[in-house]
Amino acid sequence: MICSIIVRNKGSFRHIAAFGLLILLIANILETYGKDFFHVNTMQLLQFDRFGFLFNSIALGATLIYVLLTGKEIEKSGKYAAEYFTLIFFVLCGIFILSAYDNLLMLFLGIEIMSIPLYILTGSDKRNLKSNEAALKYFLMGAFSTGLMLMGIALMYGGTGTFQLEVQRISVGMYKGVSFLEITGLLFLMVAMAFKVSAAPFHFWTPDVYDGAPAVFTSFMATIVKAAAFVAFIKLCDVRMTATLGAIDWKLLFALIIVFTLLIGNITAVFQQSVKRMLAYSSIAQAGFMLFALFNVNDVAKEGLLLYTAAYSLATIGIFAILVKMKDYTFEGYNGLAKTQPVLAATNTVFLLSLAGIPLTAGFFAKYYMLAAVVKTGSYIWLVVVGVLFAAVSVYYYFRVIQAMYFRNGNAATETITFSFKTGLIILAAIIILIGILPQVLLNWFYF
Amino acid sequence: MLSLSLILIPLLSGVAAFFIKADNTSKRLAQTASLITLAVALAGSFIQSSSLLAFDVAWLPELGSRFSLLSDGIGKMLCLLTAISLPAIFIATEKNEYEKKGSFYGLMLLTQAGLMGVFLATDCLLFYFFWELALIPAYFLCSKWGGEKRIQVTFKFFIYTFVASLLMLVGILYIYFKTTDHSFALQSFYHVKLSVKEEYFGFWLFFIAFAVKMPIFPFHTWQPDTYEQAPTAVTMLLSGVMVKMGLFGVIRWLLPVFPNAVARFDHIIILFCVIGMLYASLIAIKQDDIKRLIAYSSIAHIGLMCASLFSNQQVGMQGVMIQMFNHGVNIIGLWIVADVIEKQLGTRKFSKLGGLAQKAPVLAILFVVMALANIALPLTNAFVGEFLMFNGLFRYSIWMAVVAGISIILAAVYTLNMVQKVFLGNIVAITVNASDSSRNVNLILVILVIIVIVLGIYPQPILHLTQDSVQALFTAIH
């Protein structure tokens, strides 16, 4: 349905891409409020619900901001500028499928449509060895996880006799006993999804890939793509992993994954010297927080996940937009940025505070919802306390950047900064603060 | 509306100060704004009409949180203290040069807005918001304009308080889901039904946040370093007003919400407070730095206040009310003198100073009054407060009161030692060229000294202001 609009943009440039995104965004919002343009019979493979639409809006909005802010850098990153935009649109197409799938086969298709263009984007800097290495690593690991996923889907099919999520949802209630096949299949699926959202212990590809890929594309991968994987994951959990199924205590398993992810992401990020690599690990840590939503799927969790993806994506896109303008990606490279580029430093501070979850920024309410989703149940409070402690650890490395920018002397070198770039950053920061003070601007959508 | 303006005036003027490039304009703006706030706060302390003092609008309807402010007796008193501190700080340190004055004054005013919000909020989520709002600008102030080791020290301070307040956030959420109407409002929190175990759990989550902020032993390690390294104007704000956030948090959010847990753990907490008092006093005796000495002495004083809070005596609580105000006034006075000495002579070490009284007699006289108030001698304001607090503590446990009483003697030892080494004795090389303090400093110190003596003889104004809310608090607890 939405794919047909996308194809039109093939082979065009930055402005057309932005324009296309804007049209898509408007179309998507209109559709959210029940204005159908045309109807396609999806044979129950896809189901467009409110949650999916809202996520699409967020993904489109974030991509729009991403293209507006870093469009020029995308053009510069390699020879084939038009192709990069096209690939981004392909990824978006995969994301739309993921936000609407109602059939395990569509889940598989969505993941593949989303991932394959990313392998290419990662390797787009052809003369850079690191970029090539990252692409190869990403491809091999990705292919492996996809294999696991396919295996899982096959086993699920064997266990339940259908690919449809809806039917499987019913079958949970119908049969008391759950077959061994089904549980194994579910485990495989979970591992594959954990790989996609870079949850520990399946996170090993993340730092290398994020570090190796050109920074502009890392920004896209770490935000919108990751969020989409989460949306796919939560839809899966919504159906299957809410109850203790079979012999496995899924809750405990998730709790362990969360703790492990938070631990690896946060502790490793502390020791990084490069801001880009720090952001890669911090994205693992943030994934740990987003996993809170999957831990206990309820309304709060779903709202929270959307808010989290919005807050996290916006802030990270902003930080990366500034990062690609820097000449030196290490912490020292940021020394004294407040003197040379006050606007960049100020907006970067807002983005970092948001990632750290400080009140008055969107990140606070994002974290708030994640914690609330678990506290609401009254059990597993220790998990929340652990999460909170790691949130404090994350403050350490986010604030290192702020310290470098404001309190250390240096001469941070940047590329030329245009006025429109600054304006874009200020608007982005303003949005983040607005959500931080009045989250209902975004939340009201959920209660429509 | 009145309470809202107490937050809005500093907030808006603080934001405006960021955009002012001219140093003098931003300074004038900050001074004017802080004086207007003071006027509003003074007016507020005489007003009884609740329509003026309360403010309530929908904020996050989906979450059950409202933007509701109420200025009751305790809130009025602390807002008044905050409102007095800022102009006093601004005027006394007017001559200090800061790089980027606009940002400096802007952040100071933002901190004030956060503090006011903490003292006024009657919605727990809003309280948490302001709690953090006060912290963030303080972090930037200390890291940007502080001493040599400012970055590490301030970071320690930030991490400490941030971890603790995140734990409080978990506690807030925990209680929120237990309230019958799923609301963050003060009254819902007061009426929440908790099992004993749940109370214990929530109690510690909240208490750690407050304990770090005050700070009480063993959570105090950030405090002396931060006070030493922060620019003195900020230290005044931190020690004069910000530590009261912790005490206030205990009064408003801890005692009435978790009465059973308080009854269960009060002796442990009082024990730690008393240990902290003695420990800090002993360290203070060993100090050779004016700023560090005042910092440790502050830990001892706060320890006494916290112990009285948990002694569950109304008279002790009244003492805390008076002492919160007095401690703020006194310690700001001490910092002003410390700042004058440091700015003029370039050192804060006793070992390098001496005979300053001969060169700066006015400063010496004013400082001695402040120092006597720090020891809580009769006729000074602190005496009334400490007397009431010891009275309460005595009723709770004689032994604790006796042991805590030792700290009064120790306070006399270290404070007089400081007076003697800095102001008396022979003139040394550094103090040869010292001159008396400036007009601004004298003006502020004289005002503070007047407050010290007036409240020492006639403490009724503060008692009257807070009487009703202390009564209400005890009704809520029992």
A187 contact B CB<8A: no
Residues of chain B above pLDDT 70, percent: 100
The mean pLDDT value for A64-75 works out to 79
Q: Are B270 and B316 in contact (CB under 8 A)?
A: no
pLDDT tens, residue by residue, A292-308: 888 777 777 788 888 88
Neighbours of B98 (CB within 10 A): 18
Verify whether the Cβ–Cβ distance B151 to A407 is below 8 Å: yes
C-alpha triplet A109, A112, A115: angle, nearest 5°: 150
What pLDDT, on the 0 to 100 scale, is given for residue A163?
74
Cα(B198)–Cα(B166) distance, integer angstroms: 18
Q: Which residues in chain A touch residue B143, judged by CB atoms under 8 angstroms apart?
A: 403, 406-407
How sure is the predictor about A67, in pLDDT bands with cuts at 50, 70 and 90? confident
With respect to residue A103, please indicate whether it lies within any of the assigned structural domains: no
Residues 6+ apart with CB under 8 A from A236: A107, A165, A189, A190, A193
Is A167 in the B-facing interface, judged by CB distances under 8 Å? no
Alpha-carbon distance of B271 to A196, in angstroms, equals 52
Looking at residue A43, what is its pLDDT?
60
Contact A205, A141 (CB under 8 A): yes
Rounded Cα gap, residues A39 and A18, in angstroms:
25
Integer angstrom CA distances of residue A336 from A166, B64, B93, B153: 56, 43, 27, 20
Interface membership of A379 toward B (CB under 8 Å)? no
Looking at per-residue pLDDT, the higher value among A46 and B340 belongs to: B340
Model confidence pLDDT, tens digit, residues B5-19: 888 888 888 888 888
Residues A243-273 have pLDDT tens digits of 445 556 677 888 888 888 889 888 888 888 8
In this prediction, residue A5 carries a pLDDT of 47
Distance between CA B260 and CA B120 in Å, rounded?
A: 26
Does A19 fall in a domain?
A: no
Whether residue A176 is contained in a domain is answered as no
Contact B177 A360 (CB under 8 A): no
Smallest Cβ distance to A396: which of B129, B159, B170? B159
Residues in A closer than 8 angstroms to B128, CB to CB, are 359
Q: What are the pLDDT digits (tens) for B345-391? A: 888 888 888 777 788 888 888 888 888 888 888 888 888 888 899 98
Smallest CA–CA distance, residue B424 to chain A, in Å, is 39
CA torsion sign, B467 to B471 to B472 to B474? positive
Using CA coordinates, name the residue in chain A closest to B162: A392
Contact status, residue B204 vs residue B257, Cβ threshold 8 Å: no
pLDDT value for A240? 55
Q: Which residue has the higher pLDDT, A53 or B401?
A: B401
Instruction: Say how far apart CA B161 and CA B114 lie, in whole Å.
Output: 15
- Strands B54-60 and B65-70 come out as antiparallel
Answer yes or no: do B143 and A353 touch at CB < 8 A.
no
Cβ <8 Å between B177 and A378: yes
Tell me which of B170, B199, B200, B206 to substitute to probe the interface with A (most A C-beta atoms closer than 10 Å): B170
**How many CB atoms within 10 Å of residue B280?**
27
Residue A9: is its pLDDT beyond 50? no
Q: Could you count the other beta carbons within 10 Å of the beta carbon of residue A291?
A: 27
Q: How many domains does chain A have?
A: 1
In this prediction, residue A36 carries a pLDDT of: 61
Nearest CA in chain B to A364: B129
CA distance B95 to B101: 12
Tokens found for residue A27: 């179309």
Q: Could you report the per-residue pLDDT of A161-175, keeping only the tens digit for each? A: 777 766 555 455 444
Q: How many Cβ atoms from other residues are within 10 Å of residue A433's Cβ?
A: 16
- Chain B residues in contact with A408 by the CB 8 A cut-off are 151
Lowest-confidence region among A38-42, A145-149, A361-365, B309-313: A38-42
- Give CA–CA dist B312/B259, Å, rounded: 10
Torsion of CA A183, A186, A191, A193, to 10 degrees: -170
Q: Is the pLDDT of residue A177 over 70?
A: no
Across the interface, do A447 and B62 touch by the CB < 8 Å criterion?
A: yes
Interaxial angle between packed helices B314-345 and B439-457, expressed in degrees from 0 to 180 and rounded to the nearest 10: 160
For residue B169, which residues of chain A lie inside 8 Å, CB to CB?
Answer: 368, 371, 388
Interface contact B128-A443, CB threshold 8 A:
no
Contact B170 A395 (CB under 8 A): no
Confidence grade of residue A1 (pLDDT, cut at 50, 70, 90):
very low
Chain B closest-CA separation from residue A84 CA (Å):
40
Q: Say if A375 is an interface residue toward chain B (CB within 8 Å).
A: yes
Give which of A186, A181, A282, A190 is closest to A233, Cα–Cα: A190
Averaged pLDDT for residues A395-415:
83
Where is pLDDT greater, at B413 or A23?
A: B413
Ranges A108-122, A153-167, A275-289: which has the least confidence: A153-167
Is A381 within 8 Å of B170 when comparing Cβ atoms? yes
Distance from CA of A146 to the nearest CA of B (A): 38
Q: Which two tokens mark B37?
A: 């706030």
Flag if A375 and B177 touch (Cβ within 8 Å). Answer: yes
Task: Give the list of residues 6+ apart from residue B49 with CB closer than 8 angstroms, or none.
Answer: none
Is the model's pLDDT at B332 over the cut of 80? yes
Residue A330, domain extent: 249-448
DSSP designation for A245:
B
Taking residues B126-155, report their average pLDDT: 86
3-state SS, residue A46: strand
Nearest to A417 by CA among A345, A325, A329: A325
Q: Residue A4 pLDDT more than 50?
A: no
Alpha-carbon distance A376 to nearest alpha carbon in chain B (angstroms): 6
- pLDDT for A37: 61
With CA atoms as reference, the chain B residue closest to A403 would be B151
The answer to whether A385 contacts B170, with C-beta atoms less than 8 Å apart, is yes
Tell me which chain A residues have a C-beta less than 8 angstroms from the C-beta of B59: 438
Cα–Cα distance for residue pair B153/B138, rounded to 1 Å: 13
A339 contact B CB<8A: no
CB contact under 8 A, A395 and B173: no
Asked whether the predicted pLDDT for residue B168 surpasses 50, the reply is yes
Question: How many angstroms separate the CA atoms of A195 and A191, rounded?
Answer: 6
Interface contact A376-B155, CB threshold 8 A: no
User: Average pLDDT in the A193-215 region?
Assistant: 85
- Write the residue in A375, A391, A396 that is nearest to B166 by C-beta: A391
A372 close contact with B: CB closer than 8 A: yes
Confidence of residue B176 (pLDDT cuts 50, 70, 90): confident
User: Which has the closest alpha carbon to B78: B8, B3, B140, B170?
Assistant: B3
Give A156 or B134, the one with higher predicted confidence.
B134
Nearest to B60 among A358, A372, A439 (CB): A439
For residue A2, the distance in angstroms to the closest alpha carbon of chain B comes to: 32
Query: Helix, strand, or coil here: A42?
Result: coil
Q: What is the 3-state secondary structure (H, E, C) of A395-421?
A: HHHHHHHHHHHHCCCCCCCECCCCHHH
Task: Determine the Cα–Cα distance for residues B158 and B150; give it in Å rounded to an integer.
Answer: 12
**Angle subtended at Cα B455 by Cα B451 and Cα B458, rounded to the nearest 5 degrees:** 140
Q: What is the pLDDT of residues B285-302, one digit of tens each?
A: 888 888 888 889 998 999
pLDDT tens digits for range A428-446: 899 888 888 887 776 666 5
Residue B455 has pLDDT above 60, yes or no: yes
CB contact under 8 A, B166 and A388: yes
Residue type, B101: K
pLDDT in tens, A356-379: 888 888 888 888 888 888 887 777
Report the residue from B128, B132, B174 with minimal CB separation from A375.
B174
- Joined together, the tokens standing for residue A235 give 């839809």
Task: Tell me, yes or no, if A353 comes closer than 8 A to chain B by beta carbon.
Answer: yes
Q: Residue A12, SS3?
A: coil
Q: What angle do CA A393, A294, A240 make, to 5 degrees?
A: 155
pLDDT by residue (tens digit) across B87-104? 888 888 877 777 788 888
Chain B residues with CB under 8 Å of A371 CB are: 169-170, 173
SS3 content of chain A, % helix, strand, coil (to 5): 75, 0, 25
Q: Does the beta-carbon distance from B166 to A368 stay under 8 Å?
A: no
Task: Convert chain B into a string of H (helix), E (strand) and C (coil).
Answer: CHHHHHHHHHHHHHHHHHCCCCHHHHHHHHHHHHHHHHHHHHHHHHCCCHHHHEEEEEEEHHHCEEEEEECCHHHHHHHHHHHHHHHHHHHHCCCCCCCCHHHHHHHHHHHHHHHHHHHHECEHHHHHHHHHHHHHHHHHHHHHHCCCCHHHHHHHHHHHHHHHHHHHHHHHHHHHHHCCCCCCEHHHHHCCCCCHHHHHHHHHHHHHHHHHHCCCCCCCCHHHHHHHHCCHHHHHHHHHHHHHHHHHHHHHHHCCCCHHHHHHHHHHHHHHHHHHHHHHHHHHHHCCEHHHHHHHHHHHHHHHHHHHHHCCCHHHHHHHHHHHHHHHHHHHHHHHHHHHHHHHHCCCEHHHCCCHHHHCHHHHHHHHHHHHHHHCCCCCHHHHHHHHHHHHHHHHCHHHHHHHHHHHHHHHHHHHHHHHHHHCCCCCCHHHHCCCCCHHHHHHHHHHHHHHHHHHHCCHHHHHHHHHHHHHHHHHHC
The Cα–Cα gap between A110 and A153 comes to 14
pLDDT at B281: 92
As a whole number, the mean pLDDT across chain A is: 79
Distance, CA of B208 to CA of B211 (rounded, Å): 5
CA atoms within 13 A on the CB side of A74: 25
Neighbours of A418 (CB within 10 A): 11
Q: Is residue A229 part of a domain?
A: no
Residue with tokens 């995308």: A74
- Please report the pLDDT score of residue A32 as a whole number: 65
Q: Do A376 and B163 touch (CB under 8 A)?
A: no
Q: Is the pLDDT of residue B467 over 50?
A: yes
Residue contact B136–A358, C-beta within 8 A: yes
Q: Mark yes or no for CB contact B159/A443 under 8 Å.
A: no
Task: Report the distance separating Cα A266 and Cα A255, nearest Å.
Answer: 16
Residue A121 located in a structural domain = no
Q: Give the residue carrying structure tokens 């793509």.
A: A225
Mean pLDDT of A319-328: 85
Chain A residues within 8 A of B166 when measuring between CB atoms = 388-389, 391-392
Q: Residue A215's pLDDT band (boundaries 50, 70, 90)? A: confident
Instruction: Tell me which residue in A353, A359, A395 faces B159 most closely, judged by beta carbons.
Output: A395
How far, in Å, CA of A148 to CA of A142, rounded? Answer: 10
Token pair of B107 as six digits: 């952040």
CA distances from A438 to A57, A364, B28, B66, B165 (A): 19, 12, 32, 12, 21
Chain B positions touching A375 (Cβ under 8 A) are 170, 173-174, 177
Are A290 and A305 in contact, with CB atoms under 8 Å apart? yes
Mutation for testing the B interface, residue in A266, A384, A437 having most B CBs under 10 Å: A384
**What pLDDT was estimated at residue B363?**
85
Pairwise CA distance, residues B33 & B7, whole Å: 11
Q: What pLDDT, on the 0 to 100 scale, is given for residue B477? A: 78
CB-closest option in B143, B150, B170 to A375: B170
Q: Flag if A372 and B173 touch (Cβ within 8 Å).
A: yes
A198's tokens: 């870079």
Element (H, E) at A7: helix A3-7
How many Cβ contacts (< 8 angstroms) between chains A and B?
A: 69
β-sheet bridge partners, residue B60: B65
Distance CA A46, CA A100 (A): 5
Q: Do B144 and A395 touch (CB under 8 A)?
A: no
By the CB < 8 Å criterion, does A381 face chain B? yes
> Tokens for A154?
């096959």
**Cβ-defined contact of A395 to B143 (cutoff 8 Å):** no
Report, as an integer, the average pLDDT of A172-201: 74
B177/A376 Cβ within 8 A: yes
